[in-house]
Amino acid sequence: MLTYVARRLAYSIPVLLIASFLLFAFVRVTFDPTARLRASRDPSAVARERTRLGLDKPIVVQYKDWLVKFVQGDWGESSRSSERVYPMITRALWNTFQLIFWGVLISGLIAIGIGIFSAVRQYSVADYAFTSASFIGLAMPPFWFGLIAIQFLAAGPKNWFDLSQPPLFFVGLHSVAGSPILDYPRHLVLPVLTLTVQIIASWSRYERASMLDAINADYVRAARAKGLSPRQVIFKHAFRNALIPLVTVMALDIGLLFGGLIVTEKIFSIPGMGQLFFDSLLQGDANVLVAWTVVTAGFVILFNLVADIGYGALDPRIRVA
């Protein structure tokens, strides 16, 4: 097991390094931090700024300098607010993390429930209903669902969530007025619902498929033949094995969510990673964008690693291959 983990880890680190180099170079050639000095009356201003920022050096040297500082926690400062990038990212990350946490918790539990039910009652009316619902869920643009949810649940006569007081970035996921205990869920219900609809469809399909595989496997027939109760067969024998593929898929999807909630956060004004990216992109804030892309890519790689290790831990056959 240890060599397996070490091997996966040894593979992840170069991927992260190369990915971060490409992202760094990509953002560097896209955004010019000296753009605002173009109109300066001093013709040497741009050249001086370029030297100060080290932009006159080769890209590899720039990357090396950036990497050394990045590892030490010095992520530069934002060009629009002169704030340090590191606290900006961690603050946004915390808000996004809360959204992901609740979304994944709720959709994971419901998806597993639906998956088991649909597999055990295959081709029943409920199974068909869940299947149709998941087809619609997979086809629905997530941002459209978010807007529809606001339209029907948070606007007009049925203003259940009163989103007119937006969450404030320096307070977190609740606004200044109102009690924080009620304010917190009030601002999270709809975004979490949108996120849930986005991911629950594919997860429940996965769980259904792997549960069906498990139910039709020989060891389940053996367990049934030994005379175990249906409940024991389903939950102790089939369910545990059916969970393995789902755990892998969940880990991969969670990794993608850290950079994948741009639209959801924008619709609900959640001051998270998506919002930060959107604002930084519109204003060409290169330092934030570099840090943002590298951090989100890091999360994808980290959760790929988690999926690999989890798979290896749950299924001993994987470790050998």
Partner 1 sequence: MSTLPNRELLDVPTEENQPLPPRREFVDEDTVIRSQWRLFWRRFFRHRMAVISTIVLILIIFVCFNASWLAPYPKNHQDLALGATGPSMQHWFGTDDLGRDQLTEMMYAGQISLAIGLAVAVISTVLGTLFGALAGYFSEWTDQFLMRLTDLFLVVPAIAILAIAIKKFGNSAATIVLILAGLGWMYIARVVRSQILSIKEKEFVEAARASGASHKRIVVRHLIPNTIGPILVNATLAIAAAIITESTLSFLGFGVQPPTTSWGRMLSDAEGYVGTSKAHLLYFPGLALLIVVLCVNFIGDGLRDAFDPQSVR
Binding site for partner 1 (CB under 8 A): 15, 18-19, 22-23, 26-27, 29-30, 135-136, 138-144, 147-148, 150-151, 154-156, 256, 258-260, 262-263, 266-267, 277-278, 281, 289, 292-293, 296-297, 300-301, 304
Q: Tell me the backbone φ, ψ of residue 84, rounded to 5 degrees.
A: -65, 140
Q: 10 Å Cβ neighbour count for 196?
A: 22
- Smallest distance from partner 1 to CB 172, Å: 23
Supply the minimum distance, in Å, between the C-beta of residue 44 and partner 1.
27
- Smallest separation (angstroms) from partner 1 to the CB of 299: 9
CB of 277 to partner 1, least distance (A): 6
Q: Which is nearer to partner 1, 38 or 226 (CB)?
A: 38
Q: How far is the CB of 155 from partner 1 (least distance, A)?
A: 3
Q: Which residues contact 215 (CB under 8 A, 6 or more apart)?
A: 119, 120, 234, 238
Choice between 101 and 144, CB closer to partner 1: 144
**Closest separation between CB of residue 293 and partner 1, Å?**
6
Q: Is the separation of the CB atoms in 173 and 187 below 8 Å?
A: yes
CB of 54 vs partner 1, minimal distance in Å:
21
Q: What b-and-e string marks burial along 232-269, b requiring 16 or more CB atoms within 10 Å of the CB?
A: ebbeebbbebbbbbbbbbbbebbbebbbbbbbbbbbbe
CA 253/CA 303 separation, integer angstroms? 8
Taking the least distance from each CB to partner 1, the nearer of 26 and 235 is 26
Tokens encoding 45: 């201003």
Q: Closest separation between CB of residue 223 and partner 1, Å?
A: 27
Nearer to partner 1, 8 or 224 (CB): 8
| Cβ distance to partner 1 smaller for residue 298 or 310 | 298
CB 102 within 8 A of CB 192: yes
Of 93 and 300, nearer to partner 1 (C-beta) is: 300
What's the token pair of residue 198? 């986005």
In terms of CB distance, is 10 or 181 closer to partner 1?
10
In order, the DSSP letters of 84-144 are BHHHHHHHHHHHHHHHHHHHHHHHHHHHHHHHHHHHHTTTSHHHHHHHHHHHHHHHS-HHH
Question: Residue 53 has what DSSP assignment?
Answer: H
Angle 237-240-242 from CA coordinates, rounded to 5°: 100
Q: Which is nearer to partner 1, 19 or 244 (CB)?
A: 19
